[in-house]
Structure 1
Amino acid sequence: MANKLNQRLQTWIPDDPDFLNLEEDFIRAIRADTVALDPGDTELIPLIAMVVQQSDTTLSAQIAATLAAGVTPVKLLEVVYQLEPVVGLPKVTLALRRIHAVFRDQDLTVTPAPATATSAEAGAAIQAQLYGTEIKDLMADLPAKANQCLPEWLTDHFFTQYYQRPSLTVAQRERYGLMALITLNVDFQINAHAKGSLKAGNSETILVWSALQLLPFIGFPLVINSVQKIHAAAAQLELA
């Protein structure tokens, strides 16, 4: 019987066994050497890339693989929810439709995370600890109240509404969010969030190996660029 990775790749690459074999060998080589990641991350991180890429042909099989790898339905949902401020509503709603279809197929009942009160002060404090006033300073010259509104919306929506939800730690949110930014290839944000992820408690090792999981899905140039930025951020923080 074909192994699970091979079966999944057959759903993505049904007509080209030579290419399928090349990709299967590559993915297996990466996973054989992977260190330091949370259980299930070798499936969850590629899923993050697919949500960012709006890769509808691969989403459903990857969602099922992520669940099979031990990622809980609640954690899976939470990781995808927090991508909305990064990649926008349409990509996230597509992913959520596919996720809930897989839940129905597997007869999974998701128990929502317990509601928690959010504090604007706590959200601002999380942002300040990780990023200082970087965004506020960057937007200071924008006209017509945009210099005030844009930083406030970022703080309120991202750090207050999302970062205070209980299903992920701040370190996890930073790391998974960084993987989305790497997939988007946005240099400024990768630099900033590499530092923020380290300040949140992630090691350089876990960030680099998280980024390496993206190799088959976004390619060598973006990953090499990003791991260099992570390494540089770690060096800067050591010298600070």
Structure 2
Amino acid sequence: MNNIEADFQEVISSWVKDVDTHCAVHLKNDRFLIPLIAGTVQGVTTSIKEQTKKTLAAGIKPEVIVEVIYQLAPGTGILRVQKSLIEVQKAFDEENIELKKITIDEDPEFGAKVQAKIYGTEIKNLLHDLPDQSGNFIPEALTEHFFNDFYGREALSVKDRERYGLLGLIALNVDFQIKAHARGSLKAGNSESELIWSVIQLLPYVGFPFVVNSAQVIHKSAVELGETK
């Protein structure tokens, strides 16, 4: 580490520690996954290997780590996910970790049913007037290749998928999707407190503006749904 990097680490060390100390009071050990989400979405893989080791040491199953990163692909694209998984694999190799086979729900429409329950036809309605059937293809592809392809994989619950997915969208700073998935995460069983503290855990990686804006969106959604806690 050169002098500039060492100096920067000294400057930010109290900030990172302060965030982690406060989040540890409100979140379970799966908060260690949150820096992995931020790094993957941002395409910054320099700390992925070491963070993966920290996450394993916190008792998080390797299948959960992989599944959280897999699920980011529909939001951030496959290339950044592939880059991140290379570093995850290095950590697994160094720790002699072997993945167990993921079981998949027998219902091929499991994800579509989850989508319908939480989101209804929101995207289909939004895109209905696009030309040459493109307005049909995009929502159909979303249903098939996000919800059906991922949600039936039983390493993660729907509740956790919604929370981790929301954090990925916040790291991307996509306003419409953050609003939709804040509501979706609450409807899937996440509490307002859990979501906001999860966003706070993102703070060193995405900065204050993203966190302040997203916390307000989550709070407003919780108020509208009558689920403030």
TM-score range, shorter chain: over 0.9
1:99-178 alignment, distance < 5 Å: 99-120=88-109, 122-178=110-166
Please say if 1:80 is aligned against 2:80.
no
Name the SS for the 2:101 alignment partner. Answer: coil
Please say if 1:179 is aligned against 2:180.
no
Please say if 1:234 is aligned against 2:210.
no
- In structure 2, list runs of 5 or more residues that go unmatched: none
> Residues 161, 231 of structure 1: CA spacing in aligned structure 2 closer, same or farther, 3 A cutoff?
same
Q: Does the CA-based 8 Å contact 2:192-2:218 persist in structure 1?
A: yes
Please say if 1:196 is aligned against 2:177.
no
Give the whole-Å Cα distance in 2 for the aligned partners of 1:74 and 1:228: 32
Query: How far off its partner does 1:75 sit?
Result: 0.3
- In structure 1, list runs of 5 or more residues that go unmatched: 1-9
Query: Of 213, 226, 230, which residue of structure 1 is paired with 2:201?
Result: 213
More moved, 87-96 vs 59-68: 59-68
**What does the per-residue CA deviation read over 1:147-182, in whole Å, with 9 as the maximum and x for residues that have no partner?**
111111101111111011101000100000000000
Identity between Structure 1 and Structure 2 (%):
44
Query: How far off its partner does 1:14 sit?
Result: 6.5
Query: How far off its partner does 1:130 sit?
Result: 0.9
Give the whole-Å Cα distance in 1 for the aligned partners of 2:107 and 2:41: 27
Give the whole-Å Cα distance in 1 for the aligned partners of 2:205 and 2:175: 18
> Residues 14, 207 of structure 1: CA spacing in aligned structure 2 closer, same or farther, 3 A cutoff?
farther
Q: Does the CA-based 8 Å contact 2:75-2:168 persist in structure 1?
A: yes
More moved, 93-102 vs 186-195: 93-102
Query: How far off its partner does 1:123 sit?
Result: 2.2
1:19-98 alignment, distance < 5 Å: 19-34=8-23, 35-41=25-31, 43-98=32-87
Name the SS for the 2:47 alignment partner. Answer: helix
> Residues 14, 176 of structure 1: CA spacing in aligned structure 2 closer, same or farther, 3 A cutoff?
farther
Query: How far off its partner does 1:64 sit?
Result: 1.6
**What does the per-residue CA deviation read over 1:189-225, in whole Å, with 9 as the maximum and x for residues that have no partner?**
0000000000000000000000000111110011101
Give the whole-Å Cα distance in 2 for the aligned partners of 1:140 and 1:69: 45
> Residues 192, 100 of structure 1: CA spacing in aligned structure 2 closer, same or farther, 3 A cutoff?
same
Q: Does the CA-based 8 Å contact 1:118-1:161 persist in structure 2?
A: no
Give the whole-Å Cα distance in 1 for the aligned partners of 2:103 and 2:143: 22
Give the ranges of 4+ consecutive aligned residues of structure 1 lying more than 4 Å apart after TM superposition: none
Query: How far off its partner does 1:49 sit?
Result: 0.3
Q: Does the CA-based 8 Å contact 2:104-2:152 persist in structure 1?
A: no
Name the SS for the 1:189 alignment partner. Answer: helix
Query: How far off its partner does 1:27 sit?
Result: 1.4
Matching residue's letter, 1:107: N
Give the whole-Å Cα distance in 1 for the aligned partners of 2:99 and 2:112: 30
Q: How many residues matched?
A: 226
The aligned counterpart of 1:7 is: none
Give the whole-Å Cα distance in 1 for the aligned partners of 2:114 and 2:35: 27
Give the TM-score, by structure 1 length: 0.89
Q: Does the CA-based 8 Å contact 1:118-1:160 persist in structure 2?
A: no
The aligned counterpart of 1:222 is: 210
